[in-house]
Amino acid sequence: MTAPFSGGCACGAIRYVCSRAPIAMLNCHCLDCQRASGAPFASGFIVAAADMEITGTPKTYSVRAGSGALATRSFCPECGSPLFTRGDANPGFQSVRFASLDDASAFQPMLDIWTASAQPWVCLSQAIPHYPRVP
């Protein structure tokens, strides 16, 4: 994925532009991501928080992640679209949900993490590395 790139929520109330390419693109199979996404895993990309320009005001909630660190998830208060996650473990970075991209076809997962929590019926791609927790 090349920079700059942009995206936002389903209703357009929250928009973002990222000035640099993602550090990583991944699928997370932790139980928290499963609950937050309503799916067997959450797909997203990691960027430096300083590289993101966000317009609109997302609503947030915080939970204890599988690592024990606090994870703060952001979503649109109007349409409910999940958008960003920041963790206390790495506060200078955030993950962004791939489905929020204006051009989601540019998303290419590089790894699967927290596969120890993956649902047994999920087919993991053999083309990318898998990690039982975080690499």
Is the pLDDT confidence value at 121 over 90?
A: yes
| Average pLDDT rounded to a whole number, residues 50-74 | 91
Q: What topology is assigned to 5-25+43-103 in CATH?
A: 2.170.150
pLDDT the model gives residue 15: 98
pLDDT the model gives residue 120: 96
Helix (H) or strand (E) holding 112: strand 111-113
- Residue 46, C-beta contacts closer than 8 angstroms, at least 6 positions apart: 22, 23, 24, 25, 26, 93, 94, 95
Let me know: does 32 contact 63? Beta carbons within 8 Å.
yes
State the Cα–Cα distance between residues 48 and 42, nearest whole angstrom.
19
State the Cα–Cα distance between residues 116 and 1, nearest whole angstrom.
28
Point out which residues pair with 60 in neighbouring strands: 74
Percent of the chain with pLDDT over 90: 79
Is the pLDDT confidence value at 2 over 90?
A: no
Provide the residue ranges of all domains of the chain, joining segments of one domain with +: 5-25+43-103
- Residue 119, C-beta contacts closer than 8 angstroms, at least 6 positions apart: 29, 34, 40
Confidence category of residue 68, pLDDT binned at 50, 70, 90? confident
| Average pLDDT rounded to a whole number, residues 82-109 | 93
| Average pLDDT rounded to a whole number, residues 35-40 | 91
Mean per-residue pLDDT over the chain, rounded: 93
pLDDT the model gives residue 65: 77
Q: Which of 39, 40, 44, 14 is nearest to 27 (CA)?
A: 44
pTM (2 decimals)? 0.89
